[in-house]
Structure 1
Amino acid sequence: MAMKASVKGKFDAGGKSTGVGSLAFNAGDLKLRATMTDATFVAGPTLNGLSLAVEKPGFFMVEYNVPKKDVRFQFMNTVRIAEKPLNLTYIHSRGDNRTIVDGSLSIDPANKLSANYMVGTNNCKLKYTYAHGGIATFEPCYDLAKNAWDFSVSRKVYGGDMLKATYQTSSKLLGMEWSRNSKYTGSFKVCASVNLAEEVKQPKLTAETTWNLEM
């Protein structure tokens, strides 16, 4: 039985840090995963921040939040519309009785349409993704609940690094992100954001790194 372990740490400029660790086992077609946060160990081993999941990739996932005694169901399916793949995801959280439907339609390798809708509300986001030459990606997103647009532009640099800029028109939040993903050294992400609506525009900085181990 193959096992994969990952540890993710997040730090901000104010000195606050958080951590998440996970262990995943492959059992035939199924994947078993346990996820823990730093709250699981701060006061000695506890159930705080612990969740257990069973997943069949591409088909379903059932996740159980141990301290909250809450179950989240996720089902995935792919259908074809005019010979184009439409990926559908159905997510239901029993605790807060919330259901989300997510879908993405690949028109061609460069163009994709996606939608995210929370059933029973007006929370719906529509997004168009355009990938240019496998190097740059442009994503405008319309939020129906806020009646506002969000924009993001990302570009590969230095071979494997990624630079991404985002802007939320409703909150006037401007963000920049630099990330790198390597199967040998893990991945990291450095983010900076500033609220252009504030009189004193104080940037917020965060750094996130992930280490992966296969056994």
Structure 2
Amino acid sequence: MRTSLKGRYTNDRSTAVVTLTANAGDVKLLASMSDVTFVRGPRINNLTFTVEKPGSFIIDYDVPKKFMNSIRVAGKPLRLTYNHEHGGNRTVMDGALVLDSDNKVSANYVFGTRDLRLKYSYVHGGASTYEPCYDLGKNAWEFSVSRALLDDVFKATYESWTRDFALEWSRNSKSNGIFKISATVNMAGGSKMPKILAESIWELDL
């Protein structure tokens, strides 16, 4: 059994994510609580339960609004996520098709709208990742490139519709855990301060 705790800090609020994983033979069981905020008292927004048999299926149930599953298409894993918000009467589907170890295609679609995002991910040489993304609803592009150096990953992202440019540095260390620091600047002009984000994850075997 393993548990992990992730703390996240931004300019406007702090949150936490708690996960608990257990193995039952060749099936993995996982429970996750995300967006645990401490502003005006503790509050839990998302609770997810997962049953996974590696290489065969993944079934996730998000209380109260998500249902997710994973199937295989021509031997390729296809992961689908359905998110229905009762209050907003809105249904969203996320899909990701892994073509091989270096190539993946993903999509995000809001039913009944033109909101469709298509993203292609390509890993070059096992260290550099290029991810162009097209948003049909906004008729705009997003592009990101990242580079892995030992335990460190450096990433740059640009969104054409918001003109936001972000730089991110993350490290995954067995001894010191995982942490990420990023800064986002709007390139549209003005004297706005960059938005700073910092988060860290600690894991513990039970």
Question: Which category describes the TM-score, using the shorter chain as reference length?
Answer: 0.7 to 0.9
**Cα pair distance change 1:211/1:105, threshold 3 Å:** closer
CA displacement 1:73-118 (0-9 Å, x = unmatched): 11111111xxx72524142335345130413241x54333332222
Out of 6, 9, 12, the residue aligned to residue 11 of structure 1 is 9
Per-residue displacement from partner, 1:113-165 (whole Å, max 9, x unpaired)?
332222322111112222211111111110101000000010012x1200000
Match status 1:118 vs 2:118 = no
Task: Report deviation, 1:186.
Answer: 1.5
Structure 1 counterpart of 2:163, from 168, 172, 176: 172
CA contact (8 A) 1:21 1:37 kept: no
Cα deviation, residue 196, structure 1: 0.9
Count of residue pairs the alignment pairs up: 200
| Structure 1 unaligned regions, length at least 5 | 65-69
CA distance in 2, matches of 1:49, 1:93: 15
Question: Which runs of structure 2 are paired with 1:57-72 in the superposition (5 Å)?
Answer: 57=53, 58-64=57-63, 70-72=64-66
For residues 12-31 of structure 1, the aligned pairs below 5 Å read 12=10, 14=11, 16-28=13-25, 29-31=27-29
How far apart are 1:16 and its partner, in Å? 4.0
Query: Which SS does the other structure have where 1:115 is aligned?
Result: strand
Q: What is the aligned partner in structure 2 of residue 104 from structure 1?
A: 97
Q: 1:127 to 1:50 in 2, by over 3 A?
A: closer
> TM-score scaled to structure 1, two decimals?
0.80
| 1:111 partner amino acid | N
Q: Measure how far apart 1:199 and its partner are.
A: 1.1
Q: Which one of the candidate residues 60, 70, 74 is aligned to 2:68?
A: 74
Matched residue SS, 2:104: strand
Tell me if 1:35 matches 2:33: yes
RMSD: 2.6
**CA–CA distance in structure 1, aligned partners of residues 76 and 48 of structure 2:** 31
Runs of 4+ residues over 6 Å off in structure 1: none
1:146 aligns with 2:138: yes
Counterparts of 1:130 and 1:36, CA distance in 2 = 29
Call closer, same or farther: CA 1:26–1:40 in 2, change over 3 Å. Answer: farther
Q: Distance in 1 between matches of 2:148 and 2:178?
A: 15
TM-score, normalised to structure 2, is: 0.83
Taking the aligned partners of 1:99 and 1:16, their CA distance within structure 2 comes to 26
| Structure 1 pair 109–7 and aligned structure 2 pair: CA distance change class (3 A) | closer
Conservation of the 8 A alpha-carbon contact between 2:14 and 2:38: no
- Give distance in 2, aligned partners of 1:101 and 1:15: 28
Identity in percent: 36
Partner of 1:87: 78
**Distance in 1, Cα, partners of 2:130 & 2:93:** 25
> Aligned equivalents of 1:168 and 1:175: distance in 2?
9
Change in CA separation of 1:111 and 1:26 when aligned onto 2, cut-off 3 Å: closer
